[in-house]
A = this chain, B = another copy of it.
Amino acid sequence: MNYAFLTPSSRIRRTPVSDRVETSGVKAYTVYNHTLLPTMFRSLEEDYHHLKSAVQVWDVGCERQIEVFGPDAERLLQMLTPRDLSNLSDDQCVYVPMVDTSGGMLNDPVAVRLAPDRYWISIADSDLMLWVKGFAAGVGLDVTVEEPEVYPLGVQGPMADDLMAAVFGDAVRDIRFFRYRRLNFAGHELVVARSGFSKQGGFEIYMEGHDVGLPLWDALMEAGAPMDVGPGCPNLIERIEGGLLSYGADMTRANTPFECGLGRFCHLDRVVGSIGYDRLAEQAAKGPDRMIRSLSIDGDPVPPCQAPWPIIVGTERVGRVTSAAWSPDFGTNVAIGMLDRAFWEADTQVAVQTPDGPRTATVQATTFI
Contacts and interface: CB of A to CB of B under 8 A. Distances in A.
A109 to B, nearest CB: 13
Contacts of A322: 10
Q: Which label, helix, strand, loop or mixed, suits the secondary structure of the A interface?
A: loop
Q: Which 8 A-B pairs have the closest CB atoms?
A: A138-B138, A134-B134, A127-B127, A31-B31, A130-B131, A134-B135, A11-B249, A11-B248
A181 B61 CA distance: 45
Contacts of A130: 106, 126-128, 130-131, 134
A52 interface: no
Given A2-B22, A130-B131, A7 B34 contact: no
28 contacts: A4-B29, A5-B5, A5-B6, A5-B28, A5-B29, A6-B28, A6-B31, A7-B30, A8-B304, A9-B304, A10-B307, A10-B308, A11-B125, A11-B249, A12-B306, A31-B31, A34-B125, A100-B133, A101-B133, A127-B127, A127-B130, A130-B130, A131-B131, A131-B134, A134-B134, A135-B137, A137-B138, A138-B140
A39 B5 CA distance: 9
Nearest to A320: B10
Number of copies: 2
A7 B22 contact: no
Nearest to A5: B28
Given A4-B27, A5-B4, A10 B138 contact: no
A26 interface: yes
A5 B26 CA distance: 9
